[in-house]
Structures are given as structure tokens and as C-alpha cells.
């Protein structure tokens, strides 16, 4: 068990005992953490790795495993696993570089060969070579098979989908029969040095294939992996000689300078890792968390770590795999919760967005940002997504249908329809065509293209439960400035003016964009304090609700022990009240239902995820502007605001008509809908009767009745649907539980374990412990990716332009590149430190940390943790007051001086409120100091903006750039006099 960037003992309080107990059952625990964290206490080995450098360590682990367990010696279990469950045997084309050399290209597609170009979805089906025949084969299970008309071919059977013959794919080309291979120079990138990223030329074994466009060189993704990891079979090129070679990636000696951990430690770890995987058939696992996640290059850290897991056959094995301990917000009974939460029972699409993009754009943080290539090395700057300003990439992403944006246009979605109609559009289709034309003619724009246009920016903000203004607001002070137009401590300069091309720049902008902020909350947290209206909400012990997460296989009831205190109400009643008043007001403003045009991105798990085999921009004339193909999906929908309350309190007919689905797997519920009405409360309006959702408890019952996780019949139907897609019968997984029905009263008696469904990839039948992807491995259900396998090679052209098509290492931001301290004073007597905000003890983000009990059990304040020797340098003693600041803002707090914190780091645990014991800042003119997010800013990596391409397609809470905050630098200096 490796624990990376996750302080399980402190932040996973309820489950921590399992980790400790696993150790007594014979598991070895290795903890990777820059500080001696709480979880380090239970480690066999604590590896004090430098913060944010985990990728370097794990790339070297991959190097050792590939060399010793694939090349020097072959491991049957590992090989058979990656042949079947990873993309390693798939064929990749080699493209010519500008020089003499070749570089890795796209997976070879069926569309490129004469013999296969006519098959359905030929752009989305890929090849392997069969070991015995030496012939090309297209295995089942690619995203092309998923969305083709003929169902039943989306599976992981080791068979050629063209002939149905059994195949055994080749990994190493030197093992292939009947093909003649040769060695060619292929270009790889070494990003170790940000200032000078090197191109390496490494010989790779390839062979030639005749395509429609002439002969092309291809190789397996596995051959490219070996070359990328620097594992040579004496074939020549810039390969490291041995483990001790520090100059070339990714040897154990190479990683020392980044991680501060010795090569010997890497080698010993890698050998024990692989050996344990061999003797247990893959029971090695990694718990990974926010400590490794919130870095700019978090994807590379994660990929470096999951690669050894895949190479050792650990993913989809009980007791193995990557356990990602970030986020608990994915709830289990999604299919029935979704319609209620997003109003899908009455229409749609819902308006959802990834918050980091929204806030980066609208809190105007982009204005203080430069070109992203100043912090991110790329392989090919000539690609349209691999250069320029981040906000420009966001604009491209929106118009290409990759990411959502709100507001959507610089005109009202209702007005657009009105205008189109007045100009003669009659049908929905004509309305859409008229809007497309206006967008092309630039008479209409997406709001993101001009974020400071008063027509474009958001005005009203409802905050529900999140501490959106502070705890999750990376760049909090910019929120204060640009959303609220109030006091703030940011002093950074705007830098985007000369850089942006796709969005409009205004030299002067209005601050205080929000006219109204409403906060629905049970705590007077920082966000509530800064809101115009606070709607006091019931706590967990004052209302009916359900509680599930994706990391825990039980469903729990919340029940009122007491009625809501004072004037507070349950969330359900508050929203119901808002719906009621909206309906009443609507009678005045909207006499009849109205139409609006809503855009939504090309969604994952829908046929739209195979919309864009290549990146083309309709605005630049590179392709036609086609909604749902080259631009967002457009839909004209009816809004019946007068009946909003009626709809809110009734389960709508669309559920009955269309059934429910998650991840593109659908089940019918019409009979259950009718059955439900027979024995439960109903509501009749406008002459029709629906299941009632007047009360929170009724909504809970509906969720339980219609979800596959809590209704065995629906789990069975969902597996029937899944079986139809894969051509393999999976219903045995639901057979035993088919008669299970969970009601709220059942949960009251005892929390229940959720049923095994195709929506969650583990198998929990027969009291098995949940481990993700066990269904994929045991049932041969494809991963929802391009090849249907786990991808180590990512062939999207943007990934290749970023040089991230293969697992790689890119350095952290430096103080110089991060530009957090351009204007802040850095006098002697102050320290410059890397600033981290790990998850804290007794807080769930900001909740509970500020209760008097918890403040009493800590320091009465959320302190900044400093290393003792660092503190000595500036004469700071334990419990002294300090100022922590950078260009984004300032925090005034006390120092907690501890030798368990490494030098060069400052911690403020995530996250304090700015309500209790906050002094004024001497550094910023005696204005009130802020909270931990006063020191951060949002930095988006444009790589995560791409879309319409298999797994790189938008899904709420799954895909889109994240608001990372670890690459931050601060100045710390003593605060002699405290003023409140």
C-alpha cells in the first residue's frame, strides 16, 4: 500500500482504521509526504519526498518495472493483463517532424486502410497485431463499437471484430512473427529543465503498413512506452546506460534531484511493488489525494502513479488499484437523483458548468494572467491549443462545444429566440440555423468572448451550501474585487491586455459584477457574511435526506432529531419556497410558456463523444459550423415558469416516458412509476396526476424507488441494457438481488449497502469490498475510453502538442514562473516559501474547524505551520504572529513552529474562515487580512479543455480544468503589533 498526498489518519477519520488494520494483516505501508504527516506514523517507510515531485519518483518506478519485469525477465501475469486491459498493444502511427526524425502520432484508424475504411465509425476503431498470424486485427470494445448501430461488440473479448477470430495481441514488436521490423529514430521530450527542454532521439522498432495515403510507419504503444521510459534493448539512441545515469529520464538516479529521495529507495520500492503484485495477482494499491492532486501538472503526477499499477495488473483487482481520495460529491443513486436535482423530469438540458473555468473568467483572474506557456512547457507550440493565453483557449473550448459557459451569449437566451422568430424562423431548426449564422457573422457572441461586457457577465449568484466566496475560491481576493466590488488586498497587475486574441480586452472594467448574492447555509461562514441574503438552512440532524458518496458503499438516512432551529428550513423547503414565489411572480412577467435556446457541450457517454477526430475551428473557417458536431449542441426548449412550483413538487412525466440512464446505459421505469403512484402520495394539477414531491422525505423515497443502486429490479434492467451493448450476459450480477427494494424506513432501521450496478465499476455482491473497475476486468466490459482499454497512450493532437501523449514529468512552477511576488515586498527578515493548503484536522474544508470546541483543541486560530529552522531565520517563535502575503492577498495568523514541516514550505490547513481572530495587515495598509485562499489564484491547464473525443468529453464533475493551488509562493514575516 502506497499513500501519496493523502493524510488518511487526519482527513479520512472514519476509514483510517482499515488502513492501520490492513497493516496487521500483512500489508506493507509506504507513505510519501514532504512533512511527517499523521499518516506517516503508521508507515513502515516514510518517504519525505519533495512536495509536488511525486511524478519523478513514480516515473523511475515505472522505469525499473519495465526493465526488470518486462524486458530482462517476462512476467506472464503482467503481460496478459496489459494486453487485454490496456491500450499497450494498439498500433500508433509515426509522423514526420520538421527535422529528419519521426514522432509518435495517432492510433492507426480503420478509416486509414482500404480494407476497413468502409466499416461503421471507422475513425474510431483501432488496430493491434495478432501474435500468431502477424496480421492486423481490430479488437472489440473501442468507442467506435460503443456507438455503432450493431450492438453487442463493445466488449473486451480478445477477438478480431472483423473476423471473430481469437487473437493474442503483440506488445514487443521483436516478438511478432510474419512482419519485418526496423529501427528508426523517434523524437521524445525531456521536460526536466523548464528553461531548456530537450529533444531526445531514441531508436524504436517499427514496421510499415500500406494505408490509403501511402506507406506509413507504425509501432505498438508499448514500444513507445519503453522508449519514453528510457528502457532500451540495446537499440541505440539517447537511452540512459543504467540506473545510475542521472542525466537522462527516467532512471532512479535521474529522479534524485527532484525528489530528494535516493535511487536505492526507488529501486527497492519498485522491486517490492512488482514482487507483491506477482505473488498476489495485483493486490497493490495506492491511496492518492489532494496533496498530489492540486498541482498544475496533477495529471502527470497521477499518470506516473497509475502506470505502475496498470503495468503490474493491479487495477480492477480487489485489494488493488488507485484509490483517489479527492472529492466525495459523487453520489451513488445518480440515475434517479439526477432528474430531481437538475429538473430533467420536465425537460432540459440542465445548466451545469465546471466552476474553475467559470470563476477564472468571471472573477477576472485571467486579466492578471499571462500566456500559459510561461508556466507550462509544451512539445509543439505551433498547435492552436498549445500556445497563447489561457482565456483564449477557454473561448475556443466553448465555441468548439468542448466546455460549457454561463451566461451563454451576450444576449438573453430568450431574446435570441424572439429575434430569430421575428426574422422569420418558424421551426426550432430554423431558429438554430439563424443563431448559427449570427454566431458565424459575429452578430452574436458567446459571453466568454467578452467577459467584461456588462451584457455578458453574471449578476445574480445563489450559493447553496458551498463556501464559494472563500473556502473554494482560488483567488478569493479577486472574488472580493470583481464580484463584490469591495475591500480586497490584491495588488497584482493586469497582464493579459496585449496577449489575448480570442476575447475582447477593455482597459477599464467595472468591478462588483454581482447585483445580488443569496446564500443558503446552516453556518454563518465567510460566504454567508459576504452575501446580501442568507437563507438559514436546517442541519443534518434537522431534516430528511439521503447520504451517499462514491467512496463508501452504503446509503444512509438523515432524519430530524429536532425540528429546524429558529427560522431555518430544510433545503428542500427553501427551494420549494423559491419555486413557489417564482411561479407567482411569473404570472405577471410570463403569461404563457416561453421558448429559449440553450447550448450544451458535446457530452461524454453520448454519441457526441465521437464528434471530433481532429481539432478544427469553425470560426477560422477550418470546418463548417455544425451544432453538436463542430460547435455546442443547440436546443430550443420551453420554459413554463408559472408552473415551476407544480413541477418542482411532482415527478415529471419524462421519467416515465424515457426511463433513466447514467453513463449512456438506460433502463425503463414506466411500470415502476405507475406502481409507485398506487402506494405513495400523488399530486394532481392541470388534470394530470404525478408522484408527489412536496416533502423532502417524498423526494428521498423517489430516489430510492427509481435508482438501480437501491432497487434490485432496476439493477437487473440496467445490466440487461449493459449486456445488450457488450454482447455478454452480465445479469448474473443482479440476479440474487433482483427482489431487493430499499425504502427510507429500511434505511432508518439500518444503513444499507448499495447494490452492484453497471454505473459503479466495483462488484459488492457476496460482501465483497468495493474496488473500482472489477466489472471491467471480470466481466470484460470496456472502459469508457477511446480503445475501451485503460489508456497509457493519449493520442489526441493536443496531448501530443503538449508532449503529454505518454506519461512524463514536468517541473513544478518556480517562484520566478509563478509570478506571485512581482509587487510584494521581500525585505530581509522575511522568508519566501512555497505555500500549501492541505486538508486539515477537524475541518471538512471550512466546516467545523471554527467551532469553539475544535478551536479549543487546537490553537484558537488556524495557524501557519513553519519549519523550526526557517522560523529561526526570521526570529519567529512558536505562537508568534506573522503576516503571510503575496500579490494576491495577505493572511495574518500565528506561527506553529514544528520540525515535522520541511524547510521551504508553509502550510495553512484548508481552510479557515475570515471571521474569527483576524487582525489587520500592516503590509496592506491596515486593511483586514483574509483567509487561506487570499494567497492563491486559479491557474487552468488548457489541456483539460479539449472535447468531443472519447474520454476527453465534458461531463459534469468529471472533465474540465481544475482550480489548482499548490504552485503558490508567499512571503512570511513577523507581525510585531496585532491590531484588530
| Binding to other proteins, residues 677-696 (CB under 8 A) | none
The β-bridge relationship of strands 2-4 and 30-32 is parallel
Whichever of 524 and 574 has its CB closer to other proteins, that residue is 524
| Span 467-486, contacts to other proteins by CB under 8 A | none
Q: How far apart are CA 966 and CA 581, in angstroms?
A: 43
| Span 505-524, contacts to other proteins by CB under 8 A | 524
Contacts with other proteins, 42-61, as mask; x by CB under 8 A: xxxxxxx-------------
Report the residue from 666, 683, 738, 841 that binds other proteins according to the rule CB under 8 A: 841
Report the residue from 184, 275, 574, 637 that binds other proteins according to the rule CB under 8 A: 275
Q: How far apart are CA 73 and CA 271, in angstroms?
A: 13
Distance in Å from the first CA to the final CA of the chain:
47
Binding flag, residue 536, other proteins (CB under 8 A): no
Q: Any alpha helices (H) in 668-743, and if so which ranges?
A: 670-679, 696-706, 712-726, 732-735
658 contacts: CB under 8 Å, gap ≥ 6:
none
DSSP string, 494-533: P--TTT-SSS---SS--S---SEEEEEESS--HHHHT-SE
Q: Distances from the Cα of 50 to the Cαs of 295, 863, 931, in angstroms? A: 13, 22, 25
Give the total of residues touching other proteins (CB under 8 A): 75
Report the residue from 1, 2, 4, 31 that binds other proteins according to the rule CB under 8 A: 31
Report the residue from 272, 573, 694, 778 that binds other proteins according to the rule CB under 8 A: 272
Q: Are 199 and 187 in contact (CB under 8 A)?
A: yes
State the burial class of residue 193 (Cβ atoms within 10 Å of its Cβ: 0-12, 13-18, 19+): exposed
Whichever of 506 and 903 has its CB closer to other proteins, that residue is 903
| Span 865-904, contacts to other proteins by CB under 8 A | 865, 868, 877-879, 896-900, 902
Q: How far apart are CA 316 and CA 279, in angstroms?
A: 16
Whichever of 604 and 888 has its CB closer to other proteins, that residue is 888
Angle, in degrees to the nearest 10, between helices 298-311 and 76-85: 130
Binding flag, residue 440, other proteins (CB under 8 A): no
Binding flag, residue 87, other proteins (CB under 8 A): no
Whichever of 353 and 898 has its CB closer to other proteins, that residue is 898
Here the cell at position 414 is 430568450
Q: Which residue pairs, CB below 8 angstroms and at least 24 apart, start in 424-429? A: 428/635, 428/636
Report the residue from 1, 3, 4, 9 that binds other proteins according to the rule CB under 8 A: 9
Q: Are 784 and 722 in contact (CB under 8 A)?
A: no
Contacts with other proteins, 717-756, as mask; x by CB under 8 A: ----------------------------------------
* CB of residue 321 to other proteins, shortest distance in Å: 17
Report the residue from 180, 213, 242, 279 that binds other proteins according to the rule CB under 8 A: 279
Binding flag, residue 256, other proteins (CB under 8 A): yes
274 phi/psi in degrees, rounded to 5 = -65, -40
Report the residue from 264, 493, 532, 729 that binds other proteins according to the rule CB under 8 A: 264
Q: How far apart are CA 476 and CA 840, in angstroms?
A: 19
* CB of residue 679 to other proteins, shortest distance in Å: 37
Here the cell at position 571 is 433545503
Q: Considering only 17-25, 554-562, 658-666, 752-760, which stretch makes contact with other proteins by CB under 8 A? A: 17-25
Binding flag, residue 66, other proteins (CB under 8 A): no
Report the residue from 158, 172, 201, 265 that binds other proteins according to the rule CB under 8 A: 265
Report the residue from 837, 917, 936, 962 that binds other proteins according to the rule CB under 8 A: 917
Q: Considering only 259-267, 421-429, 568-576, 654-662, which stretch makes contact with other proteins by CB under 8 A? A: 259-267
Q: How far apart are CA 282 and CA 69, in angstroms?
A: 14
State the burial class of residue 703 (Cβ atoms within 10 Å of its Cβ: 0-12, 13-18, 19+): buried
* CB of residue 276 to other proteins, shortest distance in Å: 7
Binding flag, residue 26, other proteins (CB under 8 A): yes
Report the residue from 403, 861, 882, 940 that binds other proteins according to the rule CB under 8 A: 861
Report the residue from 303, 367, 914, 932 that binds other proteins according to the rule CB under 8 A: 914
Contacts with other proteins, 795-834, as mask; x by CB under 8 A: ----------------------------------------
* CB of residue 630 to other proteins, shortest distance in Å: 48
Whichever of 367 and 914 has its CB closer to other proteins, that residue is 914
* Residue 718 neighbours by CB distance under 10 Å: 31
DSSP string, 150-219: S-S--S--SBBTTT--B--B-SSGGG-SS---EEEEEEEEE-SSTTSPEEEEEEEEEEEEEETTEEEEEE
* CB of residue 846 to other proteins, shortest distance in Å: 15
Report the residue from 268, 421, 465, 629 that binds other proteins according to the rule CB under 8 A: 268
Binding flag, residue 643, other proteins (CB under 8 A): no
Whichever of 28 and 465 has its CB closer to other proteins, that residue is 28
CB environment 231-263: b (16+ within 10 A), e (fewer) = bbeeeebbbbeebebeebbbbbbbbbebbbbeb
Binding flag, residue 328, other proteins (CB under 8 A): no
Binding flag, residue 442, other proteins (CB under 8 A): no
Q: Considering only 27-35, 73-81, 307-315, 687-695, which stretch makes contact with other proteins by CB under 8 A? A: 27-35
Binding flag, residue 922, other proteins (CB under 8 A): no
Binding flag, residue 244, other proteins (CB under 8 A): no
Report the residue from 596, 753, 928, 974 that binds other proteins according to the rule CB under 8 A: 928
Containing H/E element for 906?
strand 905-907
Binding flag, residue 36, other proteins (CB under 8 A): yes
Least Cα distance to 438 among 577, 619, 589 occurs for 619
Whichever of 741 and 903 has its CB closer to other proteins, that residue is 903
Q: How far apart are CA 496 and CA 393, in angstroms?
A: 13
531 phi/psi in degrees, rounded to 5 = -95, 160
Q: Considering only 168-176, 255-263, 461-469, 601-609, which stretch makes contact with other proteins by CB under 8 A? A: 255-263
Q: How far apart are CA 732 and CA 735, in angstroms?
A: 5
Q: Considering only 165-173, 291-299, 661-669, 854-862, which stretch makes contact with other proteins by CB under 8 A? A: 854-862
DSSP string, 295-357: STTHHHHHHHHHHHHHHTT-TTSTT-EEEEES-----S-HHHHHHHHHTTTT--------HHH
Amino acid at each position: 500500500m502506497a499513500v501519496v498526498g493523502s493524510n488518511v489518519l487526519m482527513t479520512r477519520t472514519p476509514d483510517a482504521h482499515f488502513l492501520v488494520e490492513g497493516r496487521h494483516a500483512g500489508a506493507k505501508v509506504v507513505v510519501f509526504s514532504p512533512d511527517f504527516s499523521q499518516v506517516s506514523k503508521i508507515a513502515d517507510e516514510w518517504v519525505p519526498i519533495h512536495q509536488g515531485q511525486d511524478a519523478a519518483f513514480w516515473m523511475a518506478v515505472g522505469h525499473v518495472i519495465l526493465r526488470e519485469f518486462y524486458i530482462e525477465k517476462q512476467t506472464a501475469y503482467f503481460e496478459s493483463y496489459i494486453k487485454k486491459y490496456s491500450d499497450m498493444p494498439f498500433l500508433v502511427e509515426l509522423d514526420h517532424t520538421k527535422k529528419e526524425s519521426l514522432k509518435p502520432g495517432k492510433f492507426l484508424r480503420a478509416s486509414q486502410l482500404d480494407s476497413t475504411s468502409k466499416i461503421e465509425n471507422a475513425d474510431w476503431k483501432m488496430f493491434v497485431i495478432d501474435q500468431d498470424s502477424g496480421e492486423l486485427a481490430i479488437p472489440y470494445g473501442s468507442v467506435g463499437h460503443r456507438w455503432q448501430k450493431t450492438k453487442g461488440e463493445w466488449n473486451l473479448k480478445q477477438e478480431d471484430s472483423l473476423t471473430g477470430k481469437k487473437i493474442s495481441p503483440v506488445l514487443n514488436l521483436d516478438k511478432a512473427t510474419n512482419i519485418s521490423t526496423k529501427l528508426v529514430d523517434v523524437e521524445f521530450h525531456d521536460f526536466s529543465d523548464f528553461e531548456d527542454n530537450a529533444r531526445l532521439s531514441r531508436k524504436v522498432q517499427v514496421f510499415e503498413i500500406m494505408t490509403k495515403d501511402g506507406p506509413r510507419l507504425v509501432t505498438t504503444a508499448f514500444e513507445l512506452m519503453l522508449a519514453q521510459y528510457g528502457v532500451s534493448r540495446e537499440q541505440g539512441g539517447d537511452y540512459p546506460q543504467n540506473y545510475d545515469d542521472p542525466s537522462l529520464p527516467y532512471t532512479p538516479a535521474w529522479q534524485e534531484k527532484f525528489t530528494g529521495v535516493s535511487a536505492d529507495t526507488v529501486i527497492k520500492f519498485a522491486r517490492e511493488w512488482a514482487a507483491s503484485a506477482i505473488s498476489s495477482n495485483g493486490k497493490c494499491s495506492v491511496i492518492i489525494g489532494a496533496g498530489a492532486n492540486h498541482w498544475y501538472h496533477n495529471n502527470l503526477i497521477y499518470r506516473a502513479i497509475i502506470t505502475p499499477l496498470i503495468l503490474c495488473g493491479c487495477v480492477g483487482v480487489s485489494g488493488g488499484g488507485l484509490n483517489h481520495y479527492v472529492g466525495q460529491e459523487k453520489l451513488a443513486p445518480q440515475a434517479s437523483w439526477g432528474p430531481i436535482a437538475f429538473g430533467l423530469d420536465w425537460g432540459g438540458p440542465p445548466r451545469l458548468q465546471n466552476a474553475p473555468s467559470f470563476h477564472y473568467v468571471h472573477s477576472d483572474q485571467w486579466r492578471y494572467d499571462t500566456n500559459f506557456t510561461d508556466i507550462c512547457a509544451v512539445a509543439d507550440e505551433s498547435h492552436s491549443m498549445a500556445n497563447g493565453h489561457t482565456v483564449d483557449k477557454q473561448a475556443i473550448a466553448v465555441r468548439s462545444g468542448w466546455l460549457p459557459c454561463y451566461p451563454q451569449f451576450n444576449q438573453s437566451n430568450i431574446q435570441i429566440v424572439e429575434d430569430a422568430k421575428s426574422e422569420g424562423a418558424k421551426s426550432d431548426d430554423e431558429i438554430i440555423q439563424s443563431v448559427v449564422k449570427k454566431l458565424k457573422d459575429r452578430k452574436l457572441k458567446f459571453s466568454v468572448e467578452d467577459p467584461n461586457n456588462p451584457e455578458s457577465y453574471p449578476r445574480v449568484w445563489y450559493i447553496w451550501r458551498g463556501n464559494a466566496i472563500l473556502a473554494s475560491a482560488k483567488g478569493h481576493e479577486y472574488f472580493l474585487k470583481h464580484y463584490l466590488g469591495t475591500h480586497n488586498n490584491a495588488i497584482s497587475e493586469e497582464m493579459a491586455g496585449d496577449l489575448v486574441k480570442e476575447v475582447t480586452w477593455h482597459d477599464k472594467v467595472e468591478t462588483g459584477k454581482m447585483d445580488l448574492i443569496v446564500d443558503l447555509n446552516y453556518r454563518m461562514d465567510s460566504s454567508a457574511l459576504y452575501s446580501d441574503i442568507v437563507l438559514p438552512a436546517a442541519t443534518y440532524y434537522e431534516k430528511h435526506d439521503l447520504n451517499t458518496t462514491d467512496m463508501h458503499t452504503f446509503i444512509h438516512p438523515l432524519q430530524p432529531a429536532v425540528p429546524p432551529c429558529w427560522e431555518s428550513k430544510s433545503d428542500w423547503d427553501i427551494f420549494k419556497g423559491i419555486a413557489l414565489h417564482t411561479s407567482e411572480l411569473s404570472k405577471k412577467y410570463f403569461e404563457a410558456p416561453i421558448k429559449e435556446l440553450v447550448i450544451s457541450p458535446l457530452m461524454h457517454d453520448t454519441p457526441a463523444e465521437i464528434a471530433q477526430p481532429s481539432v478544427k475551428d469553425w470560426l477560422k473557417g477550418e470546418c463548417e459550423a455544425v451544432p453538436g458536431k463542430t460547435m455546442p449542441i443547440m436546443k430550443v426548449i420551453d420554459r413554463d415558469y408559472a408552473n415551476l412550483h407544480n413541477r418542482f413538487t411532482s415527478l415529471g412525466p419524462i421519467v416515465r416516458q424515457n426511463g433513466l440512464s447514467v453513463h449512456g446505459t438506460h433502463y425503463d421505469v414506466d411500470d415502476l412509476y405507475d406502481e409507485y403512484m398506487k402506494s405513495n402520495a400523488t399530486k394532481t394539477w392541470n388534470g394530470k396526476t404525478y408522484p408527489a414531491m412536496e416533502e423532502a422525505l417524498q423526494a428521498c423515497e423517489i430516489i430510492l424507488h427509481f435508482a438501480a443502486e437501491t432497487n434490485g429490479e432496476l439493477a437487473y434492467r440496467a445490466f440487461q441494457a449493459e449486456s445488450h451493448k457488450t454482447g455478454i450476459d452480465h445479469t448474473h450480477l443482479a440476479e440474487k438481488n433482483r427482489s431487493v427494494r430499499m425504502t427510507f424506513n429500511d434505511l432508518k432501521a439500518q444503513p444499507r449497502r448499495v447494490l452492484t450496478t453497471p454505473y459503479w465499476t466495483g462488484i459488492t455482491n457476496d460482501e465483497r469490498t468495493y474496488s473500482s473497475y472489477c466489472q471491467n476486468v471480470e466481466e470484460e466490459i470496456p472502459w469508457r475510453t477511446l480503445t475501451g482499454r485503460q489508456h497509457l497512450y493519449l493520442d489526441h493532437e493536443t496531448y501530443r502538442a503538449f508532449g503529454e501523449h505518454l506519461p512524463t514529468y514536468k517541473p513544478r512552477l518556480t517562484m520566478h514562473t509563478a509570478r506571485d511576488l512581482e509587487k510584494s515586498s521581500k525585505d530581509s527578515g522575511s522568508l519566501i516559501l512555497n505555500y500549501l493548503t492541505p486538508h486539515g484536522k477537524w475541518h471538512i474544508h471550512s466546516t467545523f474547524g471554527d467551532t469553539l470546541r475544535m478551536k479549543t483543541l487546537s490553537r484558537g486560530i488556524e495557524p501557519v505551520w513553519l519549519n523550526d529552522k526557517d522560523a529561526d531565520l526570521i526570529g519567529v517563535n512558536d505562537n508568534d504572529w506573522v503576516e503571510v502575503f503575496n500579490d494576491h492577498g495577505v493572511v495574518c495568523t500565528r506561527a506553529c513552529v514544528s520540525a515535522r514541516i520541511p524547510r521551504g514550505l508553509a502550510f495553512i490547513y484548508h481552510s479557515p474562515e475570515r471571521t474569527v481572530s483576524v487582525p489587520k495587515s500592516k503590509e496592506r495598509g491596515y486593511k483586514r487580512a483574509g483567509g487561506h485562499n487570499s494567497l492563491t489564484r486559479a491557474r487552468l491547464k488548457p489541456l483539460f479543455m479539449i472535447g468531443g473525443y472519447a474520454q476527453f468529453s465534458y461531463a459534469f464533475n468529471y472533465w474540465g480544468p481544475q482550480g489548482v493551488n499548490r504552485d503558490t509562493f508567499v512571503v512570511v514575516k513577523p507581525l510585531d503589533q496585532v491590531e484588530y
